[in-house]
Amino acid sequence: MKVGPLSLRIALVAHDQKKDDMVAFAQEHVEFLSQCSLVATGTTGQRIADACPELSVRRMKSGPLGGDQQIGALISEGEVDMLIFFVDPLTPMPHDVDVKALTRLATLYDIPLAQNRSTAEAILFAQANA
Ligand SMILES: O=C(CO)COP(=O)(O)O
């Protein structure tokens, strides 16, 4: 895979049941991601940083404590080019409104939004071959 542009700003978020998926995704694409500017919710970012020490990840608060909203704010400011958000469709979330608000802003501001791994792979492939 060709390496992506340094300027690509990617937000990474995963619910607890999807964090292993996110870590595997980050490990598989570590070369590409190392060329990007990464921001993540707190626990997701920690898991990625632990698994991929070569990646520099800006960590916001944990999702349920406002991290989803912080990333939504970055999107609204035009500071995120792509949202990769591995959602858990089987578990009720206390912060479901924040989850919906975040995906809504990605849709509103028309940035690529991947809510599962196969879509994330497709988006990265498209970027790498653009
Ligand atoms: O809850 C989340 C997304 O809604 C993710 O937050 P964490 O990465 O802190 O677990």
In tens, the pLDDT along 1-47 reads: 444 556 899 999 999 999 999 999 999 999 999 999 999 999 999 99
CATH number at residue 26: 3.40.50.1380
The structure's pTM equals 0.95
**Gap from CA of 130 to ligand 1 centroid (Å):** 30
If you take atom 10 of ligand 1, which residue's CA is the nearest one? 43
Give Cα separations from 125 to 103, 110, 118 (angstroms).
21, 18, 11
Range of the domain at 106: 9-128
| Sole residue written with tokens 């501001």 | 109
pLDDT one-digit tens code per residue, 59-112: 999 999 999 999 999 999 999 999 999 999 999 999 999 999 999 999 999 999
Neighbouring C-beta atoms of residue 91, cutoff 10 Å: 10
- How many residues are recorded in the chain? 130
| Sole residue written with tokens 């802003």 | 105
Domain count, the chain: 1
For the annotated catalytic residues, the residue numbers are 68
ipTM over 0.85 threshold: yes
| Sole residue written with tokens 């300027």 | 7
If you take atom 5 of ligand 1, which residue's CA is the nearest one? 63
Are the C-beta atoms of residues 69 and 39 closer than 8 Å to each other? no
